[in-house]
């Protein structure tokens, strides 16, 4: 039986890998993305080619619609033209630090854009709306691990506030219009073809260019790094099962998806540097100490992220498990091939 899914942000890091997975599972995937230049759009075009190649092999299909979620008429037309069974909203202005200087981009894509998706789901009912939230909603919470039942009323960046707002908006639309909606709080996602604005990718770029990397909060940060395939596995499982009434009359749920193994930033950098050498991106004997500098905390950053994934495991029998070293090695291998760099 043919099923159609809308994946917004399909040229993005997670959206592309999710789309490639879904075409292999016989879904007809309609991707939607404005392919903006927040980071190198070349990598987004390459991801689109990767999904198209997967669709050429797989039983499903892929078609990308280029457009902006803020264009309400376009989003409405998109939903009117297709009968989407499922919508996965991943398009957003991502990144915490960028929100300090470019707050409007977050209001546009994350609030107005998400509102347009909700309105379209209201007028063209879907079986399940799945959308990306973020671990950043936990703000400066000190109780770890972070659990879905923790209070999340104190975001420390506008990005985090928009993601929390998405959860609230989804609940209201779920309750009012019977839209089954699941929010997924992703924890620092990394992997091949990842986002060049994220720390691990920038570290690789800087070290390759012989520069010095800045390790914030003097290295005293812990992050729950989650491999992209683990995120895709989680999303694919969640898509298949819309939530039951959460007790408020709304078919609504929120889940953490994270590795549940926070790593000290300095340990993370050590592992990254080691695999970059072992995979031939950096030369043997690279003097790492000379290329790192400890720096103070950045506005909007949090000291620790740590996912409690027991609710995900209870409901879907799944929890991410890729070891950091394995995931970073896949990234390093891809990086070396993609930039045709290396020392061997
Ligand atoms: N990668 C992570 O570590 C992480 C962590 C937590 C949450 N998330 C969330 O997961 C989702 C996917 O993240 P990602 O890492 O793949 O990011 P990404 O930036 O690679 O992908 C987002 C895609 O959305 C598109 N987009 C942005 N605004 C748009 C708009 N107004 N209209 C149409 N397209 C638009 C961009 O062009 C991009 O291709 C985002 O919602 C992000 O906030 C990601």
Q: Mean pLDDT over residues 284-290, rounded?
A: 90
Among 94, 108, 166, 234, name the best residue to mutate to test ligand 1's pocket (greatest count of ligand atoms within 8 A of Cβ): 94
Would you state the pLDDT for residue 299? 86
Which of the 8 DSSP states describes residue 50? H
Task: Indicate if the pLDDT at residue 1 is higher than 80.
Answer: no
pLDDT classification of 298: cutoffs 50, 70, 90: confident
Task: Indicate if the pLDDT at residue 148 is higher than 60.
Answer: yes
- Using a pLDDT cut of 70, give the percent of the chain over it: 99
Would you state the pLDDT for residue 246? 98
Task: Indicate if the pLDDT at residue 344 is higher than 60.
Answer: no
In ligand 1, which atom is closest to the CA atom of 44?
A: 39
Q: Is 193 left (phi over 0), alpha (psi -120 to 50) or beta?
A: left
173 CA → ligand 1 middle, Å: 22
Residue 312 lies in a domain: no
Contact 217, 201 (CB under 8 A): no
11 CA → ligand 1 middle, Å: 9
330 CA → ligand 1 middle, Å: 21
Would you state the pLDDT for residue 294? 93
Q: 185 CB less than 6 Å from ligand 1?
A: no
| 103 and 130 belong to one structural domain | yes
| 211 and 110 belong to one structural domain | no
Residue 293 lies in a domain: yes
Alpha helices per DSSP H over the chain? 13-24, 41-57, 72-81, 98-101, 103-106, 113-123, 158-177, 199-208, 228-239, 265-278, 310-316, 324-338
pLDDT classification of 272: cutoffs 50, 70, 90: very high
Q: Which residue has the tokens 């770890």?
A: 144
Task: Indicate if the pLDDT at residue 93 is higher than 90.
Answer: yes
| 286 and 232 belong to one structural domain | no
Residue 70 lies in a domain: yes
In ligand 1, which atom is closest to the CA atom of 188?
A: 3
Q: What is the CATH number of the domain that holds 130?
A: 3.40.50.720
| 26 and 111 belong to one structural domain | yes
- Rounded Cα gap, residues 24 and 336, in angstroms: 27
In this prediction the pTM is 0.98
90 CA → ligand 1 middle, Å: 5
Task: Indicate if the pLDDT at residue 36 is higher than 70.
Answer: yes
- Rounded Cα gap, residues 336 and 328, in angstroms: 12
- Across the chain, mean pLDDT equals 96
Q: Mean pLDDT over residues 46-55, rounded?
A: 98
| 131 and 100 belong to one structural domain | yes
Closest Cα to atom 39 of ligand 1: 12
The pair of structure tokens assigned to 151 is: 């209070």
Q: 68 CB less than 6 Å from ligand 1?
A: yes
| 216 and 278 belong to one structural domain | yes
Q: What is the CATH number of the domain that holds 273?
A: 3.90.25.10
Structural domain harbouring 85: 3-191+226-257
Among 65, 90, 96, 139, name the best residue to mutate to test ligand 1's pocket (greatest count of ligand atoms within 8 A of Cβ): 90
In ligand 1, which atom is closest to the CA atom of 89?
A: 41
Q: 91 CB less than 6 Å from ligand 1?
A: yes
- Rounded Cα gap, residues 229 and 271, in angstroms: 19
Task: Indicate if the pLDDT at residue 343 is higher than 90.
Answer: no
Task: Indicate if the pLDDT at residue 329 is higher than 70.
Answer: yes
SS3 (DSSP) at 309: coil
Q: 19 CB less than 6 Å from ligand 1?
A: no
| 81 and 140 belong to one structural domain | yes
Lowest mean pLDDT among 45-54, 176-185, 280-289: 280-289
Q: 11 CB less than 6 Å from ligand 1?
A: yes
The side-by-side arrangement of strands in the sheet containing 27-33 is 61-66, 27-33, 3-8, 86-89, 128-134, 181-186, 252-257
Q: Mean pLDDT over residues 233-250, rounded?
A: 98
- How many domains, the chain? 2
Read off the pLDDT of residues 122-132 as tens digits, 9 standing for 90 and up: 999 999 999 99
CB within 8 Å of 20: residues ≥ 6 apart: 50, 51, 54, 55
Q: 94 CB less than 6 Å from ligand 1?
A: yes
List residues with catalytic annotation. Answer: 159
């Amino acid at each position: 039986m043919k099923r159609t899914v809308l994946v917004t942000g399909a040229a993005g890091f997670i959206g592309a890998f999710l789309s490639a997975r879904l075409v292999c599972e016989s879904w007809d995937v309609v991707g939607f993305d404005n392919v903006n230049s927040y980071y190198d759009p070349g990598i987004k075009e390459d991801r689109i080619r990767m999904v198209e190649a997967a669709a050429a092999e797989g039983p499903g299909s892929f078609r990308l619609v280029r457009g902006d979620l803020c264009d309400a008429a376009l989003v409405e037309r998109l939903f009117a033209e297709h009968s989407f069974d499922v919508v996965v909203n991943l398009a957003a202005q991502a990144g915490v630090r960028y929100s300090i200087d470019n707050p409007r981009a977050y209001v546009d894509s994350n609030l107005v854009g998400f509102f347009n998706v909700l309105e379209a789901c209201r007028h063209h009912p879907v079986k399940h709306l799945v959308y990306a939230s973020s671990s950043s909603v936990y703000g400066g919470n000190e109780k770890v691990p972070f659990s879905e039942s923790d209070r999340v009323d104190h975001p420390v960046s506008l990005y985090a506030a928009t993601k929390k707002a998405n959860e609230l908006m989804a609940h209201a639309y779920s309750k009012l219009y019977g839209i089954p909606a699941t929010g997924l709080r992703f924890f620092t996602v990394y992997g091949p073809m990842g986002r060049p604005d994220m720390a691990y990718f920038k570290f690789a770029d800087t070290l390759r260019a012989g520069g010095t990397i800045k390790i914030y909060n003097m290295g005293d940060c812990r992050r729950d790094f989650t491999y992209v395939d683990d995120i895709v596995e989680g999303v694919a499982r969640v898509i298949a099962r819309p939530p039951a009434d959460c007790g408020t009359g709304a078919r609504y749920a929120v889940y953490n998806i994270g590795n549940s193994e926070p790593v000290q930033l300095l340990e993370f950098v050590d592992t990254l540097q080691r695999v970059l050498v072992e995979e031939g991106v950096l030369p043997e004997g690279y003097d790492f100490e000379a290329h790192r500098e400890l720096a103070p905390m950045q506005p909007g950053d949090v000291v620790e992220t740590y996912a409690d994934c027991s609710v995900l495991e209870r409901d879907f029998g799944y929890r991410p498990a890729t070891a950091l070293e394995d995931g970073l090695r896949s990234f390093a291998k891809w990086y070396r091939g993609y930039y045709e760099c290396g020392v061997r």
